Homo-oligomer: A and B are copies of this chain.
Amino acid sequence: MIQSITKPTLVIDKAKCLNNIKRMSDKAKRSAVKFRPHFKTHQSAEIGNWFKDFGVKSITVSSVSMAKYFSQNGWNDITIAFPVNILEINEINELAWTGRDPSLQINLLVISRETLTFLNKNLKSKTGIFIKINTGYNRTGIVAEDTDELDKITDDLRNSKMMIFKGFLTHAGHTYNAQSKEEVIEIHEETKQQLLDLKKRYISVFEKIEISVGDTPSCSIATDFTDLDEIRPGNFIYYDVMQYNIGSCKMDNIAAAVACPIVGKDRSKNEIFIYGGAIHLSTEYLLFEEGLKHYGLIVRFNGNKRTGPIPNTYVARLSQEHGIIKTTPEHFDSFNVGDIIGVLPVHSCLTANLMRGNYMISDE
């Protein structure tokens, strides 16, 4: 019951989540690609289980710790989509130990020969390896044009017993900065082409090469994935205001809101004070057209139903536990001390990570 909330609580709308999962799952099925959702967004065994009804058997995570958690919760085909941290080799070997579960499939990500050499010496079970490709986001990975380096890496992989080459994986995170759906599609097509060229180059050496993309904007906006082998979106289960702005979702698809109590008001400035700050929402912000920062939009709860967002009303400032909402004279009187309002987050992954210990599932 949202009405029983007394402090900042992440409210997850189950019906919206299931709708978001279904849409993505249907699209993957139509294109006959593997749907390997990223679980870093929710980090919850309970929510992870919702995917099982859609036939999902393979997942993505972003750390060895997260892989361990989901492995203990019934998942045995896991890609750790973060460059291998060699200091965690013992945890990796423990996790990937096929002596415990022969059906276990753990895939790792490599971005250098140095790490490959280390893995070749230290892996104790057969482990899948994806090469991380930088297709333009410029975070990490080998640029697709660097075929010299890729030739060497694929040679290393061909000659290894424990490392099973799975394919090329990218995160086209530059779609997050796209200004239109068209730009997202453009980035997606460029990304796809780079991965397809690599597949073509190495397919004669490796029987099976998968190409895998992951960003929520591309996966949400593109309609056809036929040329790909796998999609790994994560954020789409909740979406958020950033994704709405990009065009990845409708406002009504946003499935997570932080319920916050109102603790004060200032009529002279049309400000509403909430218990809900940087340690609940995160300090990620977006800019309105006029250049004004905001840390989230404001909705109301009516029973378990959500209405809003309320026009011209947003989280304007944050400190550790304080949130300051700016509104207009028209809406000011509708806010009362002791009310619970909802904040639609700017970036739900960071918000959900902060609120892990404090969430509830609402069923409309």
Pairwise interchain contact B275-A82, C-beta atoms closer than 8 A: yes
A340 CB, nearest partner CB in chain B, Å: 8
B-chain residues with CB within 8 Å of residue A62 when the two chains form the complex: 320-321
CA A161 – CA B319 in complex, angstroms?
33
Contact A264 B353 (CB under 8 A): no
Residues of B close to A275: CB separation below 8 A: 63, 82-83, 85
* Residue A252 interfacial (CB < 8 Å): no
A76-91: contact bitstring with B at CB < 8 Å (1 yes, 0 no)? Answer: 0000001111111001
Please tell me which one of the listed residues B264, B283, B320 contacts residue A111 in the complex, with CB atoms under 8 A apart. Answer: B264
Is the pair B85, A139 in contact by a Cβ cutoff of 8 Å? Answer: no
CB of A125 closer than 8 Å to a CB of B: no
A284 interface neighbour in B283, B337, B350, B354, Cβ under 8 Å: B283
Write the nearest CB–CB distance from A184 to chain B, whole angstroms: 18
User: Does the CB pair B261–A85 fall under 8 Å?
Assistant: yes
A342 → chain B closest CB, angstroms: 15
Once the chains bind, are B140 and A322 in contact (CB under 8 Å)? Answer: yes
Which residues of chain B are within 8 angstroms of A40 by Cβ–Cβ distance? 320-321
Cα A298 to Cα B261 with chains together (Å)? 39
- The quantity of this chain's copies bound in the complex is 2
- Please, what's the 1-or-0 string for A1-19, where 1 marks a CB less than 8 Å from any CB in chain B? 0000111000000000000
- Bound-complex Cα distance A337 to B6 (A): 46
Q: Is A317 an interface residue (CB 8 A)?
A: yes
| A114 in the interface (beta carbon within 8 A) | yes
* A6 lies within 8 A of B91 (CB): yes
**A120 in the interface (beta carbon within 8 A):** no
A324 contacts chain B at the CB level, 8 A cutoff: yes
A153 within 8 A of B: no
- Chain B residues near A273: list those with CB within 8 A: 83, 111, 140
Q: Does A129 contact B (CB under 8 A)?
A: no
Asked if A112 is at the interface (CB within 8 A of a chain B CB), the reply is yes
Q: Measured between C-beta atoms, what is the minimum distance from A185 to chain B in Å?
A: 22
**Of residues A264, A283, A338, which shows the largest number of chain B Cβ atoms within 10 Å of its Cβ?**
A264
Chain A residues 111 to 130 lying within 8 A of chain B, measured CB to CB, are 111-112, 114-115, 118
Q: Which of B83, B278, B283 contacts A263, CB < 8 Å?
A: B83
Q: Are A321 and B91 in contact (CB under 8 A)?
A: no
Pairs across A and B, CB under 8 Å, 5 listed: A5-B87, A63-B321, A86-B337, A139-B319, A140-B266
